[in-house]
Structure 1
């Protein structure tokens, strides 16, 4: 009878210990929801997944990142600053140019024409990052690294040969932003914004004669089927996508978990930074476009590049002024750094 009672008490005590341990482990585990607006096939999405895997490993499984690609949480990109501010999602991949309604100054951080050499991008990145840290911080969002976009070649792709500003003055040019419309208008060139998904048809039907586009990835949108000639103009001023954490979530995390998030975010930032400028990648992409029948002309002259940059800076300042004092301050901060570099 005593043995049975002792065994019963022992089993009960063991059960209580097991329950306590399980509860403690459960309490220690944390899963954060991460909104990513990009499709899962995009390289940025792959780096978000890599970030999540790093956090899992570094925390020994205590902290997990549940990534929702392609906006599958049903959250709208233009609302993301408010969404994170209110703590409606824990984390998000932030691309500043999407938030012109709530933070128009973010569209003034970086603009095409900002750099003439790809390596200049690496020198500007710390300034760009500092601005994002500060501006997102004003919205109650902690930034912990992110994805540095690759610096692709930007070229003018035409049906007929053209590799000077003078030669495209009588052509209709497709561009991707109002800033670029203003830039080319200042150069006496007719340009209009046509979405990427409509660009192929616009070229095929003669709505435009040329397309200003990221040459490195032109094959992915079949530009080689509707344009035969390409000329390099400048390197892409690629805006980085930042990892943002709601301040409400950040404050609820342990110091260890905060450190893990910062370490993982910084690893992805450094990895993508090192990959961002790659002359071999650009050379191989050019060779591939030539194999598809594209004739690559001599690049636009240095004189044309300088004229383009001057017009781009004027259009950039106008864009910044529409964002108010914050926009102009950001413009002065970044262009000041560009002048220091040059």
Structure 2
């Protein structure tokens, strides 16, 4: 760089000297040469400054975490849904960012499509120890059976009136308390970040037109008190079926319907056996990603910080993309001939589910009201 500047300046001086030595006067030529030299010098200085700035930024990025001496670690991440779902994309975003920030020293091994079992199976494995599953994306209500009383509030019917309402909660200090609950009660896992997979809706094998048509139906549940109470409130029969067995249960008539977010409904091929989707939006699919204390404690401070930063990134991407993805899938379902039933008035649904809300907010009324007030 310096040689180039000196060379340009020297050429200008030589040119000017040659003209003088011959007794010629050419002020325009001399001025042009001097201007060229000054311009070249200015460009060189600007280029040097840009390179220095870029190097500084690269240095800051590389120096944020001490990856040179960082031990390599692989974390197994369980996801019950396929990677092309909203939560599957969230897992991919988390993986990409964690591996990028760690310069490849952290590997997130995402095991999707339920190959490691249902959410309850995964949680049982994680809480049982042994390290075969380190992380998982779980529904908020999945922790209910493991002492997650606060998390249960997030899955109560018609708690969140909109996505913005949910994200007002998810980005609040109150949400941090909810994430810490599983760690504080000694369950063996800790929450890293929140996400959502869209509003959940019922779908059935039999043609329906409204809420009353659900009465007497056998609707699949995952055996938690909220879903049991919700289904009973609608006059249907809660029937426990593993998620991995749900397709065949719908196909064979073991159950008449179930409920899922729109993207999961499509990706798991449920429209093939239950092509009636009623958009009741009884809950927003609030989810969180948890990691075992055993896996967390093995990480260095930098690795822990990387997971938290990657989680914040994945959560923000989820917030940006989930509604768009859901709308795209819904239009595709309609185009494919799925019987999509709109719900203009949700008041009857809300009335039918009052009992389950009252039963599951006892002792937490003030906390639940805080969530309701965030809309």
Q: What TM-score do the two structures reach when normalised by structure 1?
A: 0.68
1:271 Cα offset (Å)? 1.9
Are the counterparts in 2 of residues 232 and 300 from structure 1 also a CA contact under 8 Å?
no
Q: Which one has the largest radius of gyration?
A: 2
Residues 92-241 of structure 1 aligned to structure 2 (within 5 Å): 92-93=135-136, 95=138, 97-98=141-142, 102-105=146-149, 108-113=152-157, 114-125=159-170, 126=172, 127-139=174-186, 145-146=192-193, 148-164=195-211, 166-178=212-224, 179-234=226-281, 236-241=283-288
Are the counterparts in 2 of residues 116 and 305 from structure 1 also a CA contact under 8 Å?
no
Q: Deviations over 1:275-314 (max 9, x none)?
A: 33x1x43333222222222222331622223214423413
CA distance in 1, matches of 2:275, 2:184: 46
In structure 1, stretches of 5+ residues that fail to align are 1-24, 318-327
Q: Deviations over 1:156-187 (max 9, x none)?
A: 435223212x3322444334444322223234
1:337 aligns with 370
CA RMSD across the alignment: 3.9
Are the counterparts in 2 of residues 116 and 234 from structure 1 also a CA contact under 8 Å?
no
Are the counterparts in 1 of residues 203 and 259 from structure 2 also a CA contact under 8 Å?
yes
Residues 230, 66 of structure 1: CA spacing in aligned structure 2 closer, same or farther, 3 A cutoff?
A: closer
Q: Deviations over 1:74-105 (max 9, x none)?
A: x9631424639xxx589523636555565353
Q: Does residue 32 in structure 1 map to residue 73 in structure 2?
A: yes
Given candidates 326, 340, 360, the residue that maps to 1:316 is: 360
Residues 71, 143 of structure 1: CA spacing in aligned structure 2 closer, same or farther, 3 A cutoff?
A: same
More RCO (CA 8 Å, sep 6+): 1
CA distance in 1, matches of 2:257, 2:134: 39
- Tell me the SS of whatever aligns to 1:240: strand
CA distance in 1, matches of 2:253, 2:185: 46
Identify the range of structure 1 (152-161 vs 41-50) with the bigger mean alpha-carbon deviation.
41-50
Are the counterparts in 2 of residues 175 and 213 from structure 1 also a CA contact under 8 Å?
no
Residues 292, 314 of structure 1: CA spacing in aligned structure 2 closer, same or farther, 3 A cutoff?
A: same
Q: What TM-score do the two structures reach when normalised by structure 2?
A: 0.63
Aligned residues: 297
Are the counterparts in 1 of residues 72 and 106 from structure 2 also a CA contact under 8 Å?
yes
CA distance in 1, matches of 2:305, 2:187: 18
Are the counterparts in 2 of residues 230 and 295 from structure 1 also a CA contact under 8 Å?
yes
Are the counterparts in 2 of residues 111 and 316 from structure 1 also a CA contact under 8 Å?
no
- Tell me the SS of whatever aligns to 2:196: coil
